[in-house]
Structure 1
Amino acid sequence: MEKKVLIIFAYFSLVFLWTACTEKKIKLGKDIGFDKEENIHYGKSSDQIMDLYIPNIKTTKEKDIFIIMHGGGWRSGNKSQLTFFTLSMMQKFPDHIFVNMNYRLVSETHYGLPDQMNDIKEVSAFLEKKLKYNPKFILLGNSAGGHLSMLYAYKFDTDKKIKAVINIVGPADLSDPGFKNYQEYSFVERRLVDPRVPESGISRIDFASPVKWITEKSPPTLSYYGNSDRVIPSTQGKILDSVLKKNHVLHEYYQFNGGHLDWDKHPHDELLIDKIAAFLKKTDKK
């Protein structure tokens, strides 16, 4: 009986969220509402599109913005993968603006970096122009999206606009021997970084490794890794945690019981969202 109730509850939750996805105005509760704009072009490429959710809350306070980035090994994936998770986050953070973005993907004819870093920069510039103020950004991504969030925050955020990073199962050190077992590691070595970009003396793998750019000024970081992840080895979270600690960066590191794709399944998703809320309260006091 209890199992049936849970199944029915899950079904109606999905129906509710799907209905919310199809409307221009989203109601996520009695007092929670957002205006939605889908597939906004923030750049010239057809891949440079995003969904934007702006809360209906009337306030003079400038709202922080979550920028959400999907996974897919840098070469695949789509923002639609994180639509339901974005809606769940919106229920928890009804006074934040949300962006769920696509970015230019890696291929045999297109390097990922620096374009994927420039995509984040273009989204932030687009939002500043549209909103007419300079917001603080919270970068949140899973897998490759987690990696890109960290790399941008640690190396490319020269204006210090990133308030925090939420890294979900993201590779942090691409030179880690454990990560070299990744089935597409040779592709990452060849195509992730344009060889003309790294400074002299820095390998492309080190250039693309977020941990190599962490300093005492790096933004607060919350990380979430699965204890049975066969894609991202457990060493990645431990290396990241160690380097952040060494540099005295405010950070938290959590593990969930599951594999690479289990982080947004019940109850891991609820635990993550609660941890994010508590963590961001700490960053506000920082």
Structure 2
Amino acid sequence: MKKSVIFIAFLFFIFFTTCKESKINIGNNISFNKEKNIQYGNNSEQVMDLYIPDTGFAGEREVFIIIHGGGWRGGDKSQLTFFTLSMMQRFPDHIFVNMNYRLASSMRYGIPNQIDDIKNVAAFLKERLRYSPKLILLGNSAGGHLSMLYGYHFNTDKNVKAVINIVGPADLSDVGFKNYEEYSFVEKYLVDPKILPKGTSAVDFASPVHWINTTSPPTLSYYGKTDRVVPLSQNKILDSVLTKNNIIHESYEFNGGHLDWDKQPNNTFLIDKIEKFLKPPYKK
């Protein structure tokens, strides 16, 4: 526990002492070149932070795209800055993107805008890196949902290597999830009705489990045992559909509620499991 507190303090020190610098040194000879608030679209909300390892490497690096939560209409990438730094410590050879996306409102639908924003980030990376990188989508809450939805339904380039879903709703029609206090917003404003296929409801269209098939990307999920926002039933539903389609997957539960995944020891446990999940001989 003492070591964990020291490491978190170390990350705070790194962040505040390098926020105006173009390079981050995170110990153990690990450093990244940092670019903050890169514009990847015309809207002011379409910005991302990019971290590229500061080491010589001739091959093509994989990219973590980190997607924040906030009920599709709130939140900010800054909420996941320290978790991103922790991940960089474990994956020093990967590129990291911590992105914002256009937030939903009663005047602007979340989908397809937020899905298009992930596509735009992928297109930006392809142009910037001069190759099409394999993507690992990692998000919490609404970000976990968007990671799954993109990976299972909108991954037309088949470049998503894996999805890391943290407390993300996978089945929006689940009776347990309907207790979510903003569920009426989900029904009315999450999906633009103009994009719905005939006979498909907005709730079904926006449910990642609706799109899982035998070619869906491997998925690691993490859910709280006492989560009152995204109930544990979501984990069981998602596991069942992934198993039915023979998709490589793992799921874990932590002690705590919706926001407790990023607290010790839950966050360290999660990063340990992600590291194992993505190691060879696993390939997809």
Question: Normalization by structure 2: what TM-score?
Answer: 0.96
Measured against aligned partners, the alpha-carbon deviations of 1:116-157 in whole angstroms (never above 9, x if no partner) come to 110000000001001101110000000000000000000000
Change (3 A) 1:67 1:8: closer
Q: Is the 8 A contact 1:164 1:283 kept in 2?
A: no
Unaligned regions of 5+ residues in structure 1, if any?
none
Look up the match of 1:159.
157
Q: Within 2, Cα distance between the matches of 1:21 and 1:52?
A: 13
What SS is found at the alignment partner of 1:217?
A: coil
Identity %: 65
Cα RMSD after superposing both structures: 1.6
Residues 110-259 of structure 1: matches in 2 within 5 Å? Answer: 110-259=108-257
Q: Within 2, Cα distance between the matches of 1:18 and 1:197?
A: 43
Q: Is the 8 A contact 2:11 2:82 kept in 1?
A: no
Look up the match of 2:49.
51
Look up the match of 2:25.
27
- Equivalent residue in structure 2 for 1:97, among 95, 98, 101: 95
Q: Within 1, Cα distance between the matches of 2:261 and 2:281?
A: 23
What SS is found at the alignment partner of 1:87?
A: helix
Q: CA deviation at 1:158?
A: 1.1
Look up the match of 1:62.
60
Q: CA deviation at 1:283?
A: 6.7
Change (3 A) 1:275 1:21: farther
The letter of the residue matching 2:136 is: I
Instruction: Verify: 1:281 aligned to 2:279, yes or no.
Output: yes
Look up the match of 1:265.
263
Q: Is the 8 A contact 2:11 2:85 kept in 1?
A: no
Instruction: Verify: 1:87 aligned to 2:62, yes or no.
Output: no
Change (3 A) 1:96 1:103: same
Q: Within 1, Cα distance between the matches of 2:272 and 2:19?
A: 23
Q: CA deviation at 1:284?
A: 3.9
Change (3 A) 1:225 1:202: same
What SS is found at the alignment partner of 2:172?
A: coil
Q: CA deviation at 1:8?
A: 6.3
Q: Which runs of 4+ in 1 moved over 2 A?
A: 5-23, 282-286
Question: Normalization by structure 1: what TM-score?
Answer: 0.96
Q: Within 2, Cα distance between the matches of 1:191 and 1:9?
A: 41
The letter of the residue matching 1:170 is: G
What SS is found at the alignment partner of 2:109?
A: coil
